[in-house]
Amino acid sequence: MKNEPLAKKLLELVGSGFIRYKLQDKACVLVVSSVVGLKKIVNLINGELRTPKIHQLYTLIDWLNKNHSTNITKLSIKNSPLYQDSWLSGFTDSDGSFSIVYTKLENGAKKRKIACRLRIEQRISDPITKESYEPVLTNIANFLNCSLLTRSQKSTGNNYYTLAASSQKSLNIIVDYFEKFPLFSSKYLDYKDWKKIVELILENKHYTKQGISLTNSVKNRMNRLRTYFNWDHLNNLEA
Protein backbone atom coordinates (compact mmCIF):
# COMPACT_ATOMS: atom_id res chain seq x y z
CA MET A 1 0.00 0.00 0.00
CA LYS A 2 3.05 2.20 -0.48
CA ASN A 3 1.33 4.45 -3.04
CA GLU A 4 -1.52 5.45 -0.73
CA PRO A 5 -0.22 9.07 -0.53
CA LEU A 6 -0.48 9.33 -4.32
CA ALA A 7 -4.04 7.97 -4.26
CA LYS A 8 -4.97 10.56 -1.62
CA LYS A 9 -3.38 13.34 -3.67
CA LEU A 10 -5.31 12.28 -6.79
CA LEU A 11 -8.52 12.15 -4.74
CA GLU A 12 -7.83 15.69 -3.60
CA LEU A 13 -7.24 16.89 -7.17
CA VAL A 14 -10.31 15.19 -8.62
CA GLY A 15 -12.43 16.35 -5.69
CA SER A 16 -14.71 13.33 -5.82
CA GLY A 17 -14.57 9.62 -5.06
CA PHE A 18 -13.10 7.39 -2.39
CA ILE A 19 -10.17 5.05 -1.82
CA ARG A 20 -10.90 1.33 -1.67
CA TYR A 21 -8.38 -0.71 0.28
CA LYS A 22 -7.48 -4.23 -0.86
CA LEU A 23 -5.75 -5.47 2.27
CA GLN A 24 -5.06 -8.96 0.95
CA ASP A 25 -3.16 -7.49 -2.02
CA LYS A 26 -1.65 -4.67 0.06
CA ALA A 27 -3.05 -2.22 -2.45
CA CYS A 28 -5.50 0.64 -2.70
CA VAL A 29 -7.69 1.80 -5.58
CA LEU A 30 -9.10 5.26 -6.25
CA VAL A 31 -12.76 4.91 -7.22
CA VAL A 32 -14.62 7.78 -8.91
CA SER A 33 -18.28 7.26 -9.81
CA SER A 34 -20.03 10.62 -9.44
CA VAL A 35 -20.89 12.49 -12.63
CA VAL A 36 -18.95 15.53 -11.43
CA GLY A 37 -15.85 13.43 -10.81
CA LEU A 38 -16.15 11.57 -14.10
CA LYS A 39 -16.45 14.84 -16.02
CA LYS A 40 -13.32 16.11 -14.28
CA ILE A 41 -11.36 13.01 -15.28
CA VAL A 42 -12.60 13.16 -18.87
CA ASN A 43 -11.52 16.79 -19.12
CA LEU A 44 -8.08 15.86 -17.78
CA ILE A 45 -7.33 12.91 -20.07
CA ASN A 46 -9.38 13.50 -23.23
CA GLY A 47 -6.87 13.92 -26.06
CA GLU A 48 -3.96 12.70 -23.92
CA LEU A 49 -4.24 8.92 -24.40
CA ARG A 50 -2.00 6.81 -26.66
CA THR A 51 -3.18 3.24 -26.03
CA PRO A 52 -6.29 1.14 -26.85
CA LYS A 53 -7.75 2.26 -23.50
CA ILE A 54 -8.98 5.31 -25.40
CA HIS A 55 -12.03 3.24 -26.42
CA GLN A 56 -13.05 2.91 -22.76
CA LEU A 57 -12.83 6.69 -22.50
CA TYR A 58 -15.01 7.02 -25.60
CA THR A 59 -17.61 4.73 -23.99
CA LEU A 60 -17.66 6.94 -20.90
CA ILE A 61 -18.01 10.09 -23.02
CA ASP A 62 -20.90 8.54 -24.96
CA TRP A 63 -22.62 7.70 -21.66
CA LEU A 64 -22.13 11.21 -20.27
CA ASN A 65 -23.37 12.81 -23.48
CA LYS A 66 -26.45 10.59 -23.62
CA ASN A 67 -27.46 10.61 -19.97
CA HIS A 68 -26.17 13.85 -18.48
CA SER A 69 -26.71 16.53 -21.12
CA THR A 70 -23.05 16.96 -21.99
CA ASN A 71 -21.60 17.59 -25.42
CA ILE A 72 -18.05 16.33 -25.02
CA THR A 73 -16.04 15.84 -28.20
CA LYS A 74 -14.09 12.59 -28.38
CA LEU A 75 -10.55 13.70 -29.17
CA SER A 76 -8.34 11.42 -31.24
CA ILE A 77 -5.48 9.30 -29.96
CA LYS A 78 -2.31 11.27 -29.28
CA ASN A 79 0.54 10.70 -31.73
CA SER A 80 2.96 13.55 -31.01
CA PRO A 81 6.61 12.63 -30.20
CA LEU A 82 7.00 11.05 -26.76
CA TYR A 83 9.65 13.52 -25.66
CA GLN A 84 7.18 16.40 -25.89
CA ASP A 85 4.91 15.56 -22.95
CA SER A 86 4.57 13.62 -19.70
CA TRP A 87 2.54 10.67 -21.06
CA LEU A 88 5.45 8.22 -20.85
CA SER A 89 6.07 9.28 -17.27
CA GLY A 90 2.54 8.30 -16.32
CA PHE A 91 2.79 5.05 -18.29
CA THR A 92 6.03 4.20 -16.47
CA ASP A 93 4.41 4.96 -13.11
CA SER A 94 1.92 2.25 -14.02
CA ASP A 95 3.86 -0.34 -16.01
CA GLY A 96 7.57 0.41 -15.70
CA SER A 97 10.31 -0.46 -13.23
CA PHE A 98 13.84 0.71 -12.51
CA SER A 99 16.40 -1.90 -11.54
CA ILE A 100 20.11 -2.30 -10.94
CA VAL A 101 21.91 -5.43 -12.11
CA TYR A 102 24.84 -6.21 -9.82
CA THR A 103 26.71 -9.48 -10.40
CA LYS A 104 29.24 -10.15 -7.65
CA LEU A 105 32.46 -12.06 -8.28
CA GLU A 106 31.84 -14.39 -5.34
CA ASN A 107 28.65 -15.67 -7.00
CA GLY A 108 30.73 -17.59 -9.53
CA ALA A 109 30.72 -14.85 -12.12
CA LYS A 110 33.87 -14.46 -14.20
CA LYS A 111 33.54 -10.70 -14.21
CA ARG A 112 31.73 -8.22 -12.01
CA LYS A 113 28.81 -6.55 -13.77
CA ILE A 114 26.91 -3.40 -12.86
CA ALA A 115 24.11 -2.12 -15.08
CA CYS A 116 21.01 0.06 -14.78
CA ARG A 117 17.81 -0.86 -16.56
CA LEU A 118 14.38 0.61 -17.21
CA ARG A 119 11.92 -2.14 -18.03
CA ILE A 120 8.41 -1.64 -19.38
CA GLU A 121 5.96 -4.48 -19.92
CA GLN A 122 2.43 -4.51 -21.26
CA ARG A 123 -0.06 -7.08 -22.50
CA ILE A 124 -0.07 -7.94 -26.20
CA SER A 125 -3.60 -6.69 -26.77
CA ASP A 126 -6.40 -4.90 -24.96
CA PRO A 127 -8.66 -7.48 -23.26
CA ILE A 128 -11.83 -5.62 -24.28
CA THR A 129 -11.22 -4.43 -27.84
CA LYS A 130 -8.44 -6.95 -28.71
CA GLU A 131 -6.56 -4.03 -30.28
CA SER A 132 -2.78 -4.53 -30.28
CA TYR A 133 -0.43 -2.56 -28.04
CA GLU A 134 2.39 -3.06 -30.55
CA PRO A 135 2.27 0.46 -32.10
CA VAL A 136 2.66 2.32 -28.81
CA LEU A 137 5.24 -0.13 -27.39
CA THR A 138 7.24 0.07 -30.62
CA ASN A 139 7.15 3.84 -30.32
CA ILE A 140 8.48 3.65 -26.76
CA ALA A 141 11.22 1.19 -27.72
CA ASN A 142 12.34 3.43 -30.58
CA PHE A 143 12.39 6.47 -28.30
CA LEU A 144 14.43 4.65 -25.64
CA ASN A 145 16.77 3.12 -28.23
CA CYS A 146 16.09 -0.50 -27.30
CA SER A 147 14.42 -3.62 -28.71
CA LEU A 148 10.80 -4.67 -28.26
CA LEU A 149 10.44 -8.35 -27.39
CA THR A 150 7.62 -10.68 -26.40
CA ARG A 151 7.40 -13.16 -23.56
CA SER A 152 4.89 -15.73 -22.35
CA GLN A 153 3.93 -16.17 -18.71
CA LYS A 154 3.97 -19.91 -18.06
CA SER A 155 1.59 -19.82 -15.10
CA THR A 156 -1.20 -18.04 -17.00
CA GLY A 157 -0.32 -18.49 -20.67
CA ASN A 158 -0.61 -14.73 -21.17
CA ASN A 159 1.67 -13.00 -23.66
CA TYR A 160 3.36 -9.65 -23.11
CA TYR A 161 5.43 -7.07 -24.91
CA THR A 162 8.54 -6.22 -22.95
CA LEU A 163 11.44 -3.83 -23.41
CA ALA A 164 14.55 -3.20 -21.34
CA ALA A 165 16.65 -0.07 -21.90
CA SER A 166 20.16 -0.19 -20.45
CA SER A 167 22.71 1.11 -22.97
CA GLN A 168 24.53 4.36 -22.22
CA LYS A 169 22.61 6.06 -25.00
CA SER A 170 19.35 4.81 -23.50
CA LEU A 171 20.36 5.90 -20.00
CA ASN A 172 21.03 9.43 -21.21
CA ILE A 173 17.64 9.55 -22.94
CA ILE A 174 15.86 8.23 -19.84
CA VAL A 175 17.48 10.68 -17.43
CA ASP A 176 16.89 13.64 -19.74
CA TYR A 177 13.22 12.70 -20.07
CA PHE A 178 12.39 12.02 -16.42
CA GLU A 179 14.20 15.12 -15.24
CA LYS A 180 11.85 17.08 -17.49
CA PHE A 181 8.72 15.02 -16.80
CA PRO A 182 9.05 13.52 -13.30
CA LEU A 183 7.25 10.47 -11.99
CA PHE A 184 4.75 10.77 -9.13
CA SER A 185 4.37 7.26 -7.70
CA SER A 186 6.91 5.66 -5.36
CA LYS A 187 8.85 4.86 -8.54
CA TYR A 188 10.02 8.48 -8.42
CA LEU A 189 12.06 7.53 -5.34
CA ASP A 190 13.42 4.43 -7.08
CA TYR A 191 14.33 6.54 -10.10
CA LYS A 192 16.22 9.09 -7.99
CA ASP A 193 18.27 6.32 -6.36
CA TRP A 194 18.74 4.51 -9.69
CA LYS A 195 19.97 7.74 -11.27
CA LYS A 196 22.88 7.86 -8.80
CA ILE A 197 24.24 4.64 -10.27
CA VAL A 198 23.49 5.78 -13.82
CA GLU A 199 25.71 8.79 -13.19
CA LEU A 200 28.50 6.49 -12.00
CA ILE A 201 28.17 4.40 -15.17
CA LEU A 202 28.19 7.44 -17.45
CA GLU A 203 31.31 8.72 -15.67
CA ASN A 204 32.88 5.23 -15.75
CA LYS A 205 33.19 5.20 -11.96
CA HIS A 206 30.86 2.29 -11.20
CA TYR A 207 33.68 -0.25 -10.77
CA THR A 208 35.65 1.86 -8.32
CA LYS A 209 35.58 0.84 -4.66
CA GLN A 210 33.27 3.73 -3.86
CA GLY A 211 31.10 2.98 -6.90
CA ILE A 212 30.66 -0.68 -5.96
CA SER A 213 29.81 0.28 -2.38
CA LEU A 214 27.19 2.83 -3.47
CA THR A 215 25.71 0.38 -5.99
CA ASN A 216 25.28 -2.28 -3.33
CA SER A 217 23.73 0.22 -0.92
CA VAL A 218 21.29 1.68 -3.46
CA LYS A 219 20.23 -1.70 -4.86
CA ASN A 220 19.33 -2.90 -1.37
CA ARG A 221 16.94 -0.03 -0.68
CA MET A 222 15.00 0.10 -3.96
CA ASN A 223 11.63 -1.28 -5.06
CA ARG A 224 10.35 -3.96 -2.65
CA LEU A 225 13.26 -3.35 -0.29
CA ARG A 226 12.36 0.31 0.21
CA THR A 227 11.40 1.23 3.77
CA TYR A 228 11.77 5.03 3.70
CA PHE A 229 9.39 7.19 1.66
CA ASN A 230 9.47 10.95 1.18
CA TRP A 231 6.46 12.24 -0.72
CA ASP A 232 7.46 15.89 -1.06
CA HIS A 233 7.45 15.51 -4.85
CA LEU A 234 3.65 15.27 -4.77
CA ASN A 235 3.58 19.00 -4.06
CA ASN A 236 4.38 19.43 -7.77
CA LEU A 237 1.37 17.40 -8.95
CA GLU A 238 -1.42 19.61 -10.25
CA ALA A 239 -4.63 18.95 -12.16
What tens digit of pLDDT does each residue of 6-36 get? 999 999 999 999 999 998 888 999 999 999 9
pLDDT-above-70 percentage for the chain: 97
Binned at pLDDT 50, 70 and 90, residue 107 comes out as low
CATH topology for 81-239 is Endonuclease I-creI (3.10.28)
DSSP state of 231: -
| CA distances to 95, 128, 148, 165 from 123, in Å | 10, 12, 13, 18
Q: Is the dihedral of CA 187, 193, 196, 202 positive or negative?
A: negative
Partners of 116 in beta bridges = 100
Backbone angles phi, psi at 106, to 5 degrees: -70, -10
Model pLDDT, residue 112: 84
Is the CB of residue 91 less than 8 Å from the CB of residue 120? yes
- How do residues 112-166 score in pLDDT, each as one tens digit? 899 999 999 999 999 999 999 999 999 999 999 999 999 998 888 889 999 999 9
Q: Do residues 92 and 118 touch, judged by C-beta distance below 8 A?
A: yes
Angle between helices 4-14 and 35-45 (to 10 degrees): 100
Residue 118 CA to residue 100 CA, distance in Å, equals 9
**110 pLDDT more than 70:** no
With a pLDDT cut of 90, the percent of the chain lying above it is 90
The pLDDT tens digits for 182-213 are 999 999 999 999 999 999 999 999 999 999 99
Q: What is the mean pLDDT of the chain?
A: 95
Q: Which residue has the higher pLDDT, 158 or 51?
A: 51
Q: Specify the higher pLDDT residue, 107 or 88.
A: 88
